[in-house]
Amino acid sequence: MAVELWVWGGFVAFIVALLLLDLLIFHRRAHVVSIREALAWTTVWIVLAVAFGIGVWLWQGQEKGLEYLTGYVIEKSLSVDNLFVFLLIFSYFSVPKRDEHKVLFWGILGALVFRAGFIFLGVALIERFHWVLYIFGGVLVFTAVRMVVLREREVHPERNPVLRLFRKFARVTPDYVEDKFFVRWKGVWFATPLLVVLLVVETTDVIFAVDSVPAIFAITVDPFIIFTSNAFAILGLRALYFALENALQRLRYLHYGLGAVLAFVGAKILVSDFYKVPVEYALAVVGLVLLITTVASLRKTRPGARTDALVPRPPREVDPPGRNS
């Protein structure tokens, strides 16, 4: 069932309205997000995502509803990997706690725009060249193996090519200036380190999207289902980050679970022309894998166990970003 243009416009308008409400009303002033506030917003985003899924089910039928729900669960679980990276980036650049939400807000907004382009390009390629699906499946299996073998995502902000290029041509203040991305001094505009952090977050998400977005092609190639499930999964990342910030260190085995999910959906793509795995079975497998790895992680790192080594720290003290001569 083709989705009419006005439905696309209505969904985009709804998302924009939610983002503006968040930015202009609830987070108009920079502040440290409390766990209670983060949990409340996490609940709001999950309820909205599930309610939308129910609407899809009633509107387009059970199959589309299950495709949306499965896609949402897969993308949401894979996006948790991004939270570890946010934690490392904020620690590396010593970002003030009150400014983290602003960076994540604009970072996730940029991620939405990029992923929309990536999704439509992927769908167009699959419709024209069916064999592209096998490439996506192979990428997912390779990523799954790498995730398990390497165990941790390596993030080296100082090696980021976009950041290095930016610092060659832009003036950057030595210190953070409130929650601003730009400041003007003596008639000259300067970027602040907060903009540097945003660039790192954006480019890192681009790299991770190459791994995570193809996963949903194992479930459906309907662009509306793919985009909406991705959108709701990403929109809840900010609140989820603040809700799980302290608990991230306890999710010791999560990378094994995410690797298993990627391997499963990659294999599902590779055998799709020979055997169709029912969507409800795929949803059950993904949910069971995530449940097992989460419970195992929490049991392993229950109170009293050492967790200080689970999240790597910057190897050295870094100088504040400045303009390269």
Amino acid in position 143: T
- Which of 87-96, 154-163, 199-208 is the most confident on average? 87-96
Q: Which domain holds residue 290?
A: 36-300
Neighbours of 112 (CB within 10 A): 18
Alpha-carbon distance 63 to 284, whole Å?
15
Taking residues 56-76, what's their average pLDDT? 91
pLDDT over 80 at 238, yes or no: yes
Q: Which residues contact 209 (CB under 8 A, 6 or more apart)?
A: 111, 114, 115, 118
The whole-number pLDDT of residue 47 equals 93
> Would residue 18 count as lying in a domain?
no
Output Rg (C-alpha) for the chain, integer angstroms.
20
The whole-number pLDDT of residue 52 equals 94
* C-alpha dihedral (169, 175, 179, 182), degrees to nearest 10: -30
> Would residue 151 count as lying in a domain?
yes
> Would residue 28 count as lying in a domain?
no
pLDDT over 70 at 1, yes or no: no
Cα of 317 vs its chain's centroid, Å: 27
Calculate the alpha carbon distances from 152 to 74, 84, 289 in Å.
19, 9, 19
Calculate the alpha carbon distances from 206 to 108, 197, 248 in Å.
11, 14, 22
pLDDT over 50 at 316, yes or no: no
Residue 254's pLDDT band (cuts 50, 70, 90): confident
From 52-56, 151-155, 200-204, the region with the lowest mean pLDDT:
151-155
Neighbours of 249 (CB within 10 A): 17
Alpha-carbon distance 209 to 192, whole Å?
26
> Would residue 313 count as lying in a domain?
no
The whole-number pLDDT of residue 13 equals 92
Q: Which residue has the higher pLDDT, 241 or 69?
A: 69
Question: Are the beta carbons of 283 and 243 closer than 8 angstroms?
Answer: no
Alpha-carbon distance 230 to 236, whole Å?
10
State how many domains the chain has.
1
Neighbours of 255 (CB within 10 A): 20
**DSSP H helices in 237-308:** 237-244, 254-270, 279-300
Q: Which residue has the higher pLDDT, 146 or 125?
A: 125
> Would residue 8 count as lying in a domain?
no
pLDDT over 70 at 214, yes or no: yes
Burial of 145 (0-12, 13-18, 19+ CB in 10 A): middle
> Would residue 244 count as lying in a domain?
yes
> Would residue 162 count as lying in a domain?
yes
Alpha-carbon distance 162 to 270, whole Å?
34
> Would residue 296 count as lying in a domain?
yes
